[in-house]
């Protein structure tokens, strides 16, 4: 493998396991002593666990109590952001590492970032990088990653562009055969269609339920308050965005925020007239004892309980107050209820998930576990409220829909009709075929929107806020959907290019 390898298999094909096999071979042969595995923060514990459980390799993690710094251990799993922090970077750079592993290596595709600088400065004998999407928007992304693994293999950056990139078009290459030969010296690439893995089906049920009169009154009151008190100042924008999300989640979530504002907590300044509006909203919220979503969730859990010997349902929400409300409702069904949120340490989260696997019941979770936790033992998920960013929804589903899942995956989306939630589902998620997109595909679609200076969630909020009536609201979301469709088409072209660049470079080819 020379000085290292780029593991570029498509999403879900086990790049962690492949790297683990290499590390295990080195450990058995006793040819390498010091190993540093750098990962996104939320995946550090999972890497540590899989290396131990599947390969018998004992790595200390930077989140462990016994972690004494990068100079004190020879097998370390750490978040890349911890390694580049002011506290630790000197110790990381002072050592000569035998092996450096980097997960989600596309995060170092930009040479102007601190993460790239860290990897460029670390001294190591061999590097093993993992990413399903080494090319995001430009073939130069690939150069930056490969050059960290095998410096000089593709020449200097200028030589690479002159030799392999068509002038003015970073998605087309020339001298394709030569570039392919060089890539074959450093890269392993497998695709799903080349495997014998039988991936299970995913069934998504999305229903918009009619809210009660009180729920509708609460939604309208909050929306009117948001529109009338909007300010372009960041603090004001953020708190109003929060309130608009909470009102389709639960009355409890709305009350939690309003009570804080009325007590004078938070960064936003509340005028006397606004306080009067907030008190009126509070009265409406307090009048709602049982919600439509609570009833629908109970119906789903009962149905699963009737069909399966052991009930296991993961319910996701964005808000702690809603989480408590869901838990209370689930307990009425005499099911074990498990809670996990951002207050839990990584080890505590692992313990809750283990209890859920053993006992069954309902796991009520916030997005604090939407990445980095494997729960293939469960195949039913409920999105109690929906993040406006589709990447976050797919990350939730990815906890149960992954290799090792041997049953059909069922996802239930609960939404209130005639609210922003229904518009996001119908107009936007359907437009990008959210529930059939891979994480990589969604990342590419949304990154194109962000390049134009538009944050997805803020754009949703602006479309809602500026509409004077229902017709204008529908038109606003239709316009946004058209933009997403354009981004999707561009992302699909880039996806095809990704495949081509690993095979025959059919988008540029020798003609270019």
At 469 the pLDDT is: 78
Place domain 202-207+291-501 in its CATH homologous superfamily. P-loop containing nucleotide triphosphate hydrolases (3.40.50.300)
Where helices occur in 308-340 by DSSP H, the ranges are 320-331
- Per domain, the residue ranges of the chain are 4-194, 202-207+291-501, 213-286
At 319 the pLDDT is: 93
At 95 the pLDDT is: 93
Tokens of 224: 């009117």
Where helices occur in 185-250 by DSSP H, the ranges are 213-228, 234-246
Tally of residues, the chain: 512
Do 4-194 and 202-207+291-501 have matching folds? Answer: yes
* Residue 91 CB partners (closer than 8 Å, separation 6+): 69, 70, 71
Q: What are the average pLDDT values for consecutive 10-residue runs of the chain, which has 512 residues?
A: 83 84 93 92 86 95 93 94 93 94 84 87 92 73 87 88 77 78 86 70 83 94 86 65 90 92 75 88 93 92 82 92 93 91 83 91 87 80 86 80 81 89 78 60 61 68 80 78 72 60 40 32
CATH for the stretch 4-194: 3.40.50.10810
At 382 the pLDDT is: 93
Q: Which residues pair with 338 in a beta bridge?
A: 363
User: Would you say the pTM of this structure is higher than 0.75?
Assistant: no
At 480 the pLDDT is: 77
Residue 489 class from Cβ within 10 Å (0-12 exposed, 13-18 middle, 19+ buried)?
exposed
Query: What count of other Cβ atoms lies within 10 Å of the Cβ of residue 439?
Result: 17
* 3-state DSSP assignment of residue 460: helix
Q: Give the dihedral of Cα atoms 329, 379, 316, 17; nearest 10 deg.
A: 150
């Amino acid at each position: 493998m020379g000085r290292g390898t780029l593991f570029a298999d498509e999403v879900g094909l086990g790049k962690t396991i492949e790297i683990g096999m290499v590390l295990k071979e080195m450990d058995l042969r006793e040819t390498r002593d010091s190993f540093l595995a750098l990962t996104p923060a939320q995946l550090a514990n999972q890497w540590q666990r899989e290396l131990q459980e599947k390969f018998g390799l004992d790595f200390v993690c930077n989140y462990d109590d016994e972690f004494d710094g990068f100079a004190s251990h020879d097998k370390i799993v750490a978040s890349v952001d911890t390694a580049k922090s002011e506290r630790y970077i000197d110790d990381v750079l002072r050592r000569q590492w035998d092996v450096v592993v980097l997960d989600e290596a596309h995060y170092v595709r930009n040479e102007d970032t601190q993460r790239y600088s860290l990897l460029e400065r670390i001294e190591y004998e061999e590097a093993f990088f993992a990413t399903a999407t080494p090319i995001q928007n430009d073939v130069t992304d690939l150069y930056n990653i490969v050059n960290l693994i095998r410096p000089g293999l593709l020449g200097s950056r200028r030589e690479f562009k002159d030799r392999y990139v068509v002038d003015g078009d970073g998605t087309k290459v020339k001298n394709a055969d030569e570039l392919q030969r060089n890539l074959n010296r450093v890269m392993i690439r497998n695709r799903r269609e080349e495997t014998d893995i039988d991936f299970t089906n995913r069934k998504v049920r999305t229903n918009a339920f009619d809210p009660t009169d009180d729920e509708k009154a609460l939604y309208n009151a909050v929306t009117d308050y948001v529109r009338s008190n909007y300010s372009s100042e960041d603090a004001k924008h953020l708190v109003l965005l929060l309130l608009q999300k909470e009102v389709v989640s639960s009355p409890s979530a709305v009350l939690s925020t309003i009570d804080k504002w009325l007590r004078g907590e938070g960064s936003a300044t509340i005028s006397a007239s606004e306080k009067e509006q907030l008190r009126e909203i509070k009265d409406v919220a307090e009048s709602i004892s049982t919600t439509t979503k609570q009833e629908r969730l109970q119906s789903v859990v009962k149905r699963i309980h009737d069909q399966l010997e052991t009930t296991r349902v993961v319910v996701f929400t964005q808000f702690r107050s809603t989480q408590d409300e869901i838990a209370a409702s689930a307990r009425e069904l005499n099911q074990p209820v498990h809670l996990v949120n951002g207050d839990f340490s990584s080890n505590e989260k692992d313990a809750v998930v283990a209890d859920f696997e053993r006992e069954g019941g309902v796991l009520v979770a916030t997005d604090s576990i939407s990445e980095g936790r494997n729960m293939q033992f469960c195949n039913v998920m409920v999105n109690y409220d929906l993040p406006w960013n589709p990447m976050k929804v797919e990350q939730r589903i990815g906890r149960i829909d992954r290799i090792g899942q041997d049953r059909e995956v069922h996802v239930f989306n609960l939404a209130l009709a005639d609210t922003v939630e229904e518009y996001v589902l119908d107009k936007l998620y359907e437009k990008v075929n959210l529930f059939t997109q891979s994480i990589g595909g969604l990342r590419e679609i949304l990154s194109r929107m962000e390049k134009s200076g538009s944050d997805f969630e803020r754009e949703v909020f602006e479309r809602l806020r500026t509409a004077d009536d229902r017709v204008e609201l529908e038109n606003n979301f239709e316009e946004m959907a058209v933009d997403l469709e354009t981004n999707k088409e561009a992302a699909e072209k880039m996806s095809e290019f990704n495949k081509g660049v690993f095979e025959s470079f059919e988008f540029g080819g020798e003609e270019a």
